[in-house]
Structure 1
C-alpha cells in the first residue's frame, strides 16, 4: 500500500474537505450506507463491500486500463503490448453485478516519464510481474520513456 498511501497524502493536501483513506477492500472501515461515491482506480473491486458502504443512490466510479495502457512499457518489459479489447461488453464486465453501468469515458494521452520516476513505474504491480530482470534493467537504464496513458472510466449506479 506504499504507493496508495503516498497518493492519498498528496490528494489530502491538495483537496481539503474530502475524506481520503487507504483501506482493505475486504473489510472497509466505513459504516453501512455512508458513502455517496466510491472511486476505485486500477484495483480490484469488492462488490459486497461497495454495496454495503454505498448509500441507496450511491455511485461507483471504476477506472480500468484501456487497450493501449502503458503499451510502450509493456513492450519494453515483455516484447509485446498484451493488447486488450475494450468493447462495451468487456467494459461492463469490470462493473460488479449489482451495479448498472451508467456511463463510460475514455482518457488517452502520452506522457514522458523521466528517469527518476521509471523505477516506481517499473516496480508497479502487477505490471512487472513475470518480466525478466534484464528487461527491467534495460528500461531503468533509459533517460526517459514516452508512454501511453489509456484509461476507461466507468460509472455505475447501485441497484
Structure 2
C-alpha cells in the first residue's frame, strides 16, 4: 500500500518505521505519524499551515461549528462502503476522525503537507495511518483506494485518479459562493463573486460527476475567540484589513454567518493505472 516517496518501491515495516528494498528508510514519529515528505519535495522549510493556523482551526472545529459538514461527509462515505479510504489534505484530522468512526472496518489513511497539523491529527484516531506527505506525490500505490475525501483542500485530479481503483470515488467538499457571506460583507467594501463549480472543468477524462448536493445552515458566533479563530483559519485573516478584522471580533452580541458547502462525488470509470 505505502510506496517510497523517493523511488516508488513498496514500503515495508522496519524498526521504528518503514523501508523500501533500495534502502530508503523513514522513521515513525513518537506521535505515531510517518514523515514521507523528503526535503527535496518541499517548497519551503516548513510547508503547509503553521502552528498558529492549526491551533486556530482546531479551536474553531472543536466547538462544533462545522460538525454538520463532517457528519454529512461521514454519511456519504458510509454509503460507498469502502474497504480503504484516504483523506487528502487532512489538516489536523477533524474530518478524518469522523470518517474513521463511520468506517470502522475500513483501512484509513490521511495525509497533509503540514507536519504541525499531522502531529495534532494523530491524537484523534490512532487507527488511521497518518502521513506527512505531498498531495502531488501521494506515497500510495496505484488503484489502492476505494474512496478519497478532499475537504477544503487543493487537489491534484490526476494524482487522485491514479490512486482510485476502477469504480472508486472521490468526494470533494468545498464552499459555495454564499459561504460566510455575512463575514465577507463586513470585511470588504466589495464582495467578489465566487464560481463554486469551476473545479468541474478540471476533472480528467475517465472520471464523472455522480452526485452533487449543497448543505446550508446558520451559525451564531457568540464568543469573540470563535470569530478570531474563524478569521485565522481562512484567507480572510490576512486579506482583510486589521481594522475590519477587529470590528468582526469585537462585534457586540452574536455574529450570524451562513455555512454553505458543496459536496461533489466523482466516480473513476478509467482502467486501473499500471504500477510504476
* TM range, smaller chain: 0.7 to 0.9
What TM-score, normalized by structure 1, do the two folds share? 0.82
Find the aligned partners of 2:99 and 2:199 in 1 and give their Cα distance. 30
Asked if 1:64 is matched to 2:174, the reply is: yes
1:107 to partner: Cα distance = 0.9
Q: Higher strand fraction: Structure 1 or Structure 2?
A: 1
1:6 to partner: Cα distance = 4.9
- Aligned residue for 1:45, secondary structure, equals coil
Find the aligned partners of 1:57 and 1:80 in 2 and give their Cα distance. 43
Highest relative contact order (Cα 8 Å, sep 6+), 1 or 2? 1
Asked if 1:117 is matched to 2:226, the reply is: yes
Mapping of residues 47-126 of structure 1, within 5 Å: 47-85=157-195, 90=198, 92-93=200-201, 96-98=203-205, 99-115=207-223, 116-126=225-235
1:129 to partner: Cα distance = 3.5
Q: What's 2:261 paired with? A: 151
Indicate conservation of the 8 Å contact 1:8/1:22, yes or no.
no
Unaligned runs of 5+ in 2: 1-48, 58-90, 113-133, 271-276
- Aligned residue for 2:239, secondary structure, equals coil
Larger radius of gyration: 2
1:104-134 CA-partner distances (Å, limit 9, x unpaired): 1011111112323111110123233321111
Q: 1:50 to 1:9 in 2, by over 3 A?
A: closer
Asked if 1:29 is matched to 2:118, the reply is: no
